[in-house]
Amino acid sequence: MEPFIRNKERGFDAAWEMSSEDGEYGPKSVMAVLSVGHSSQRKAFYASVQRETWEVGKYGTSRSFMLFNGVTLMTEPVARYSAKRMKVFFDRAMKVLDIIRRDPESAELVLTEKGRESVARIQDIFDAESMAA
């Protein structure tokens, strides 16, 4: 399944639709979202993954999610923001996420214990059966 990719100011979002149902004004979709951005305070690029609900309403689309329920996929220290380096970081985050989704066992081999826990949480975000939880 191909993600919907949105270029935002100083970052990117990539979203995969996990399920969809009819809402009052349009579709209500559960999405797995990779958010990549830049923190000027931390002087770093970051990539995180979380599950969101996107619902078309009367006045636009709302995105809802549980606070602190996302998983930090990776970070990279940078002295200052660069759009070119941000795109390279985004592409690398997409590749890492693809490896985790397709072959989590091999991804776990090179990770610390905390990294292995992150792989399990990322799998839950993309797992249709865990959506009810």
- DSSP bridge partners of 118: none
Average pLDDT over residues 114-125: 78
CA dist., res. 115 & res. 107, Å (int): 9
CA geometry: angle at 63 spanning 62 and 64, to 5°?
Answer: 120
> Distance from CA of residue 51 to its chain's centroid?
8
Contacts of 55 (CB under 8 A, 6+ apart): 23, 26, 27, 28, 29, 61, 62, 64
The number of folded domains in the chain is 1
| Of the candidate ranges 3-7, 41-45, 77-81, the one whose mean pLDDT is the lowest | 3-7
Mean pLDDT of the chain: 85
Q: What type of residue is 88?
A: V
Radius of gyration of the chain (CA): 16
pLDDT for the residue 67: 77
| Through-space distance between the first and last CA atoms of the chain, rounded to whole angstroms | 23
pLDDT for the residue 131: 55
The per-residue pLDDT for range 65-118, each reduced to its tens digit, is 777 778 888 899 999 999 999 999 999 999 888 888 888 777 666 566 667 777
**Looking at per-residue confidence, does 41 or 23 come out higher?**
41
Inform me whether the pLDDT recorded for 38 exceeds 80: yes
Domain boundaries, position 8: 4-132
